[in-house]
């Protein structure tokens, strides 16, 4: 893990330079940060991460438990990036900071348990994952569905039913614990790389890989072979609607869509889920904070492992905004669905919502 | 230094995690956004940190903390977001810094009266987003709306970019809740106007935490405007621009955005966009409201500007300004960081002064000349106007080629010269940034001997032990940490 005992791995120069820059910014994006808003923690203000990481890089602060505690309260939602004229990637700086404190022997809370769980083939979130590879053949798939470490069997099954109804041959791949994304978020870089490589070995060849959890997209893109398109659920399914391969029973249900942060801001995917909902006749009620301005449910950067109380506060805050619509909520991120359900919301995964509205197959 | 047993007692009141004492945990509160402190940090100085930072989670907890401080003679520095530019939230030796960001609830929206109740820790943009989602606006748009708290803004008598229509934040206060130095809670009755004795809210608006801690406010709000009609003009010089703007205000109409840039600032605006720099001064006027109201106001503005010989530049300059209105604030780091755009040790700050229309032209000339003595660049625009006068916002910069000591010396000299010039010209030393530590040396001259003595007596009456934000506003007490 560490290069040599007693030596700190350097925070990469470009990350250190960006953090130093940010540490002189007058905290401009504070308004955007959902964790600051939900918890009032001063060290959740995006600027604070710049300062901590910059001070670590310059040796102005010690890589100890104090520094680790100031690298907790980020959910990786990228909301701070939207207004920032310098396109700062705060989560990348937090990851680098977390890696530094871990190498110095003071990981952020929850890291070593998560690493151990994944080494054991278990979800770092303690979620019971469905069985490993589930396929009726080993080759010839149109789509490989990759489960996230917070997915549940019902939502995965729903997605596969939709794909099957569009005539797609699918395989379901469940990573051995984690795609590596959660470990990378915790600053466990080497273990994250190893987890991603293991997942790569599990993937059967297919032109399309669908990540049910947007948090897995970066890891899958780094492991899936060239020529494989790695897509989120909504983007994959809307293409089938465009091809007229999917038909839904039309029902004028009021729903609010919670845009997952990494989908809306990381992938710029806000229209596909809305088009899918519209295809079922659903009437969309937009909550406060939607589209690229969505407000995080606290599901990212392993916040629920690192700082569970803050993750819960962030979810509660978002649940209040969504609850104010008075409509049931649909989302497209397993982590968000769990967080919001824990906060008391009636929330359904997009795939399950759609699968429940598929036009039934005519009897054979 | 605070006693460990005492701090344990305090932690018992708000919870362990909300009391920080280790220097690694209090470093975020070592400075606010006073450029002088940032320059010292940039120079490599380890700024003094607070002895403790306490973050109460509710009004009751805050009251408990203040009572505890009163009982144990512990001083308090209120801290919102730490983006004040005068050192008002800078730590004080032997004091605890009380961070108010956890008190950030947005309460009742009264759509009949047009008011909203807020706690002090709400970031102003969060409040604005909340209101816009419901069809309303506060109308308070400072350049720091994205990063500063409502409590901080109230404490310094802040002004936003649309103050010409909506007023300063202090004008929007319908009711105020304040925790006094002994922990008692003072609340004004939320009424539109009153003649029931003096307006006691004024003891706390602009008090910068030296007279009490603001814990809640009822603020006036407006229906969100349906349209904005922005337009740019070019006038031959500053004085013509001021005459034209005054004439607009005298019609009784109130554009929301009124900005007049002096020649240097005009050159920066056009040059910064890669446009040819024209002769003269840029004026931007924005009219908002229902379409008929905005269009009518814009029509009158066009007529009056034309009567003053202005060239109509069309909507583009105003629309560009609106789209990039916070850019300078976002770009601050690019200039100020070590190795910034203008090299190491740049000196950069802003100074906002104000005066009546009669005073304004002379105030502009005198302050600009005074600042120019000690800096390499002085820009100015007039951006908050009222029937009786307006404010001037100077940006001052000096390149120091890595010499941080020189940067600080020039900084101090420029402030001394600029502030004294403002007073001599009959203006006020601050239109909306407040006093803090930065302007403390000038407050006595601003208020006069009797005025300053009155302020001190008010302070003594409200805070006999001198526990609230000592050293700020030049009110003495336990002394600021910034030498
Ligand atoms: C880039 C930039 C642009 C700016 N533009 C503007 C502008 O356009 N208009 C404008 O008016 N200001 C502007 N400012 C100044 C700044 O926004 C204000 O000073 C604001 O009040 C700071 O709010 P804060 O929450 O950070 O307060 P702090 O800096 O934390 O505190 C400010 C002062 O108020 C006291 N205080 C804080 N909260 C309370 C409370 N609840 N009760 C009592 N006292 C309290 C503090 O002790 C301190 O004295 C700008 C600042 C920056 C950095
Ligand atoms: S990524 Fe999201 S949670 Fe993290 S600092 Fe930025 S806004 Fe806050
Ligand atoms: S992300 Fe951008 S806007 Fe936010 S603090 Fe950093 S530099 Fe400033």
Cα A217 to ligand 2 centroid, rounded to whole Å: 19
Q: Indicate which ligand has the atom closest to the C-alpha of A46.
A: 2
* Shared domain check, A216 and A158: yes
pLDDT at A360: 82
Gap between the Cα atoms of A310 and A316, Å rounded: 10
Final residue of a domain: which of A242, A270, A289? A242
B140 touches chain A (CB under 8 A): no
How are beta strands A143-146 and A170-173 bridged, if at all? Answer: parallel
Cα B483 to ligand 2 centroid, rounded to whole Å: 35
- Chain A residues with CB under 8 Å of B331 CB are 85
- Number of domains observed in the structure of chain A: 3
Residue nearest ligand 3's atom 7 by CA: A22
**Cα distance from N-terminal residue to C-terminal residue, chain B:** 18
**Is the CB of residue A73 below 6 angstroms from any atom belonging to ligand 2?**
no
Q: Shortest CB distance from A40 goes to which of B46, B53, B104?
A: B104
Cα A46 to ligand 3 centroid, rounded to whole Å: 7
pTM: 0.96
Determine the residue of chain A that is closest to B126 in CA distance.
A31
pLDDT at B482: 39
How are beta strands B115-118 and B213-220 bridged, if at all? Answer: antiparallel
B330 touches chain A (CB under 8 A): yes
A288–B133 CB contact, under 8 Å: yes
**Residue ranges of E strands in B208-318:** 213-220, 222-223, 227-235, 257-261, 281-289, 311-314
* Shared domain check, A286 and A212: no
- For residue range B90-119, list pLDDT tens digits in order: 998 889 999 999 999 999 899 999 999 999
Tell me the average pLDDT across B386-401. 97
Burial of B339 (0-12, 13-18, 19+ CB in 10 A): middle
**Is the CB of residue A35 below 6 angstroms from any atom belonging to ligand 2?**
yes
Q: Around Cβ B452, how many Cβ atoms within 10 Å?
A: 17
B57–A40 CB contact, under 8 Å: yes
CB B235 within 8 A of CB B244: yes
Tell me the average pLDDT across A197-218. 92
pLDDT at A133: 61
Whether A137 shows a pLDDT value over 70: the answer reads: no
Q: Shortest CB distance from A37 goes to which of B24, B126, B336?
A: B126
Gap between the Cα atoms of B171 and B192, Å rounded: 11
Angle, to 10 degrees, between the axis of helix B238-250 and the axis of helix B360-372?
Answer: 140
Residue nearest ligand 3's atom 6 by CA: A22
CB B345 within 8 A of CB B404: yes
Q: Shortest CB distance from B147 goes to which of A24, A30, A60?
A: A30
pLDDT at A364: 59
A69–B125 CB contact, under 8 Å: no
Interface test with B, best of A16, A42, A46, A47 (most B CBs within 10 A): A42
CA atoms within 13 A on the CB side of B113: 16
Percent of chain A residues topping a pLDDT of 70: 95
- Chain B residues with CB under 8 Å of A25 CB are 330, 332-333
- Chain B residues with CB under 8 Å of A42 CB are 28-29, 53, 55, 99, 101
Gap between the Cα atoms of A155 and B307, Å rounded: 69
Q: Around Cβ A131, how many Cβ atoms within 10 Å?
A: 8
pLDDT at B229: 97
Tell me the average pLDDT across A208-233. 92
DSSP letter for each residue of A159-198: HHHHHHHTT--EEEE--SS--SHHHHHTT-HHHHHHHHHH
* Shared domain check, A324 and A274: yes
* Shared domain check, A229 and A283: no
Tell me the average pLDDT across A85-99. 97
Task: For residue A276, give both structure tokens.
Answer: 């899918």
Per the rule left: phi > 0, alpha: psi between -120 and 50, beta: everything else, A140 is left
Distance from the B102 Cα atom to the nearest Cα atom in chain A, whole angstroms: 4
B29 touches chain A (CB under 8 A): yes
pLDDT at A132: 64
Determine which of A19-28, A215-224, B124-133, B358-367 has the lowest per-residue pLDDT on average.
A215-224
- For residue range B234-249, list pLDDT tens digits in order: 999 999 999 999 999 9
B433 touches chain A (CB under 8 A): no
Task: For residue A60, give both structure tokens.
Answer: 């102005």
A41 touches chain B (CB under 8 A): yes
**Is the CB of residue A303 below 6 angstroms from any atom belonging to ligand 2?**
no
Task: Indicate whether A298 belongs to any domain.
Answer: yes
B337 touches chain A (CB under 8 A): yes
DSSP letter for each residue of B299-366: HHHHHHHHHTTPEEEESHHHHHHHHTTTHHHHHHHHHHSTTBTTBTT-EEEEEEEEEETTTHHHHHHH
* Shared domain check, A201 and A262: no
Angle, to 10 degrees, between the axis of helix A90-103 and the axis of helix A13-22?
Answer: 120
B81–A45 CB contact, under 8 Å: yes
Determine the residue of chain A that is closest to B21 in CA distance.
A66
Gap between the Cα atoms of B472 and B483, Å rounded: 13
pLDDT at A5: 39
* Shared domain check, A183 and A155: yes
Distance from CA of residue B68 to its chain's centroid? 30
**Is the CB of residue A74 below 6 angstroms from any atom belonging to ligand 2?**
yes
Gap between the Cα atoms of A352 and A121, Å rounded: 26
- For residue range A258-282, list pLDDT tens digits in order: 999 999 999 999 999 999 999 999 9
CB B376 within 8 A of CB B398: yes
- For residue range A301-312, list pLDDT tens digits in order: 999 999 999 999
Tell me the average pLDDT across B309-330. 95
A28–B330 CB contact, under 8 Å: yes
Task: Indicate whether A79 belongs to any domain.
Answer: yes
Label residue A363 by pLDDT band (50, 70, 90).
low
Nearest to B361 by CA among B447, B282, B427, B266: B427
**Residue ranges of E strands in A45-124:** none
Gap between the Cα atoms of A57 and A10, Å rounded: 7
Q: Around Cβ A122, how many Cβ atoms within 10 Å?
A: 18
Beta bridge partners of B136: B223
Whether A326 shows a pLDDT value over 50: the answer reads: yes
A41–B101 CB contact, under 8 Å: yes
Whether B329 shows a pLDDT value over 80: the answer reads: yes
Task: Indicate whether A345 belongs to any domain.
Answer: yes
Pick the more confident residue, A126 or B290.
B290
Return all residues near A195 (Cβ < 8 A) that are at least 6 apart: A118, A175, A176, A177, A178, A179, A180, A183, A219
* Domain at A182, CATH number: 3.40.50
Burial of B182 (0-12, 13-18, 19+ CB in 10 A): middle
Q: Give CB contacts under 8 A, 24+ apart, made by A282-285.
A: A282/A251, A282/A252, A282/A253, A282/A254, A282/A255, A282/A330, A283/A252, A283/A253, A283/A254, A283/A255, A284/A255, A284/A256, A284/A257, A285/A254, A285/A255, A285/A256, A285/A325, A285/A326, A285/A327
* Shared domain check, A300 and A208: no
Nearest to B280 by CA among B246, B316, B238: B238
Distance from the A39 Cα atom to the nearest Cα atom in chain B, whole angstroms: 7
Task: Indicate whether A249 belongs to any domain.
Answer: no
B146–A66 CB contact, under 8 Å: no
Final residue of a domain: which of A81, A103, A125? A103
* Shared domain check, A225 and A270: no
B328 Cα nearest atom in ligand 1: 1
Phi and psi torsions of A167, nearest 5°: 80, 20
Determine which of A198-207, B185-194, B454-463 has the lowest per-residue pLDDT on average.
A198-207
Task: Indicate whether A179 belongs to any domain.
Answer: yes
B133–A62 CB contact, under 8 Å: no
Whether A3 shows a pLDDT value over 60: the answer reads: no
- Chain B residues with CB under 8 Å of A320 CB are none
Task: Indicate whether A135 belongs to any domain.
Answer: no
A291 touches chain B (CB under 8 A): no
DSSP letter for each residue of B117-166: EE-TT-BHHHHHHHHHHTTEE-----TTTTT-BHHHHHHHT---TTHHHH
Cα A178 to ligand 2 centroid, rounded to whole Å: 22
Residue range of the domain that includes A169:
143-242
Q: Indicate which ligand has the atom closest to the C-alpha of B213.
A: 1
- The sheet that has B19-20: what strands, in order across it? B19-20, B52-54, B95-99, B75-79
Q: Indicate which ligand has the atom closest to the C-alpha of B123.
A: 1
Burial of A264 (0-12, 13-18, 19+ CB in 10 A): buried
Tell me the average pLDDT across B343-349. 96
Final residue of a domain: which of A242, A266, A283? A242
Determine the residue of chain A that is closest to B19 in CA distance.
A41
Percent of chain B residues topping a pLDDT of 70: 98
Top mean pLDDT of A71-75, A129-133, A146-150 is at: A71-75
Task: For residue A244, give both structure tokens.
Answer: 């007229």
Whether B437 shows a pLDDT value over 90: the answer reads: yes
Return all residues near B332 (Cβ < 8 A) that are at least 6 apart: A24, A25, A26, B348
- Chain A residues with CB under 8 Å of B46 CB are 60
Task: Indicate whether A25 belongs to any domain.
Answer: yes
Determine the residue of chain B that is closest to A63 in CA distance.
B24
Q: Which domains does chain B have, with CATH numbers?
A: 4-100 (3.30.43.10), 106-223 (3.30.465.10), 227-323 (3.30.70.3450), 327-424 (3.30.300.330)
* Shared domain check, A260 and A173: no
Gap between the Cα atoms of B39 and B337, Å rounded: 9
**Is the CB of residue A78 below 6 angstroms from any atom belonging to ligand 2?**
yes
- Chain A residues with CB under 8 Å of B133 CB are 288
- Chain B residues with CB under 8 Å of A40 CB are 55, 57, 99, 101-104, 121
Q: Give CB contacts under 8 A, 24+ apart, made by B319-326.
A: B319/B230, B320/B273, B321/B230, B321/B232, B321/B257, B321/B259, B321/B284, B322/B228, B322/B230, B322/B257, B322/B286, B325/B141, B325/B143, B325/B161, B326/A28, B326/A83, B326/B143, B326/B145, B326/B146
A67–B83 CB contact, under 8 Å: no
Hey, which residues 55-84 in chain B have their CB within 8 Å of chain A?
55, 57, 81-83
ipTM entry: 0.96
Average pLDDT, chain B: 96
* Shared domain check, A171 and A210: yes
pLDDT at B173: 98
**Is the CB of residue A92 below 6 angstroms from any atom belonging to ligand 3?**
no
Task: Indicate whether A267 belongs to any domain.
Answer: yes
Gap between the Cα atoms of B206 and A80, Å rounded: 31
């Amino acid at each position: 893990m560490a290069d040599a005992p007693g030596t700190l791995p350097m925070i990469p120069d470009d990350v250190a330079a960006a953090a130093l820059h940010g540490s002189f910014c007058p905290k401009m994006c504070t308004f955007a940060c959902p964790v600051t808003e939900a918890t009032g923690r001063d060290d959740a203000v995006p600027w604070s991460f710049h300062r901590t990481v910059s001070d670590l890089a310059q040796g102005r602060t010690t890589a100890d438990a104090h520094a680790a505690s100031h690298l907790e309260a980020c959910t990786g939602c990228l909301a701070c990036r939207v207004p920032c004229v310098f396109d700062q990637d705060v989560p990348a700086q937090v990851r680098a900071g977390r890696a530094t404190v871990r190498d110095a022997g003071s990981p952020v809370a929850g890291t070593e348990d998560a690493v151990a769980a994944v080494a054991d083939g278990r979800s770092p979130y303690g979620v019971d994952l469905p069985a490993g590879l589930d396929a009726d053949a080993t080759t010839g798939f149109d789509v490989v569905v990759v489960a996230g470490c917070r997915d549940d069997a019902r939502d995965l099954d729903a997605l596969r039913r939709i794909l099957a109804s569009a005539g797609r041959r699918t395989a379901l791949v469940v990573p051995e614990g984690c795609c590596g994304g959660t470990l990378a978020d915790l600053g466990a870089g080497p273990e994250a790389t190893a987890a991603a490589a293991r997942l790569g070995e599990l993937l059967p060849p297919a032109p399309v890989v669908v990540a049910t959890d947007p948090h897995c997209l970066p890891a899958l893109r780094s492991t899936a072979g060239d020529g494989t398109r790695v897509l989120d659920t909504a983007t994959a399914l809307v293409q089938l609607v465009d091809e007229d391969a999917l038909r839904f029973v039309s029902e004028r249900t009021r729903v609010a869509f919670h845009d997952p942060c990494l989908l809306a801001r990381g992938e710029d995917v806000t229209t596909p889920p809305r088009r899918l909902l519209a295809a079922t006749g659903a009437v969309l009620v937009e909550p406060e904070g939607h589209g690229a301005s969505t407000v995080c449910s606290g599901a990212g950067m392993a916040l629920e492992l690192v700082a569970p109380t803050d993750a819960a506060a962030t979810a509660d805050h978002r649940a209040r905004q969504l609850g104010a619509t008075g409509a049931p909520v649909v989302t497209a991120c397993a982590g968000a669905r769990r967080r919001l359900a824990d906060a008391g919301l009636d929330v359904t995964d997009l795939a399950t919502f759609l699968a429940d509205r598929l036009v039934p197959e005519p009897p054979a | 230094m605070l006693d460990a047993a005492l701090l344990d007692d305090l932690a018992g009141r708000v919870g362990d995690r909300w009391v920080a004492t280790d220097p690694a945990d209090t470093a975020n509160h070592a400075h606010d956004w006073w450029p002088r402190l940032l320059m010292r940090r940039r120079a490599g100085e380890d700024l003094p940190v607070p002895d403790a930072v306490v973050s109460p989670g509710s009004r009751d907890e805050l009251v408990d903390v203040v009572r505890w401080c009163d009982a144990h003679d512990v001083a308090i520095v209120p801290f919102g977001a730490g983006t004040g530019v005068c050192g008002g939230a800078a730590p004080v030796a032997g004091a605890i810094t009380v961070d108010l960001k956890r008190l950030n609830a947005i309460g009742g929206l009264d759509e009949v009266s047009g008011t909203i109740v807020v706690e002090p820790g709400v970031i102003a943009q969060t409040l604005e987003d909340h209101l816009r989602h419901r069809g309303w606006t506060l109308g308070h748009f400072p350049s720091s709306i994205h990063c500063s708290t409502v409590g901080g803004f109230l404490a310094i008598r802040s002004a936003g970019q649309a103050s010409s229509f909506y007023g300063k934040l202090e004008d929007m206060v319908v009711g105020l809740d304040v925790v006094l130095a002994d922990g008692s809670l003072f609340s004004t009755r939320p009424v539109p106007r009153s003649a029931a004795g003096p307006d006691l809210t004024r003891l706390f608006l602009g008090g910068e935490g030296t007279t009490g801690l603001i814990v809640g406010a009822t603020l006036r709000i407006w229906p969100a405007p349906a349209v904005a009609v922005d337009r740019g003009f070019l006038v031959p010089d500053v004085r013509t621009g001021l005459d034209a703007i005054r004439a607009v205000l005298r019609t009784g109409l109130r554009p929301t955005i009124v900005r007049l840039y002096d020649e240097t600032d005009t050159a920066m605006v056009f040059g910064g966009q890669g446009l040819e720099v024209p002769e003269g001064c840029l004026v931007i006027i924005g009219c908002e409201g229902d379409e008929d109201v905005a269009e009518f106001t814009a029509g009158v503005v066009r007529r009056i500007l034309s009567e003053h010989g202005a060239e109509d530049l069309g909507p583009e300059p105003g629309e560009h300004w609106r789209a990039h209105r916070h850019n300078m604030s976002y770009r601050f780091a690019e200039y100020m960081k070590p190795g910034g755009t203008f090299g190491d040790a740049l000196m950069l700050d802003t100074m906002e002064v104000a005066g009546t229309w009669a005073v304004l032209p002379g105030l502009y000339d005198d302050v600009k000349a005074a600042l120019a003595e000690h800096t390499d660049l002085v820009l100015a625009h007039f951006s908050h106007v009222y029937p009786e006068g307006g404010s001037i916002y100077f940006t001052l910069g000096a390149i120091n080629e890595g010499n941080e000591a020189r940067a600080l010396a020039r900084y101090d000299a420029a402030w001394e010269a600029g502030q004294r010039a403002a007073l001599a010209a009959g203006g006020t030393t601050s239109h909306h940034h407040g006093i803090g530590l930065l302007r403390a040396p000038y407050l006595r001259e601003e208020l006069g001997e009797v005025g300053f003595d009155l302020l001190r007596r008010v302070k003594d009456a409200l805070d006999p032990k001198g526990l609230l934000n000592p050293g700020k506003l030049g009110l003495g007490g336990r002394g600021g940490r910034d030498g």
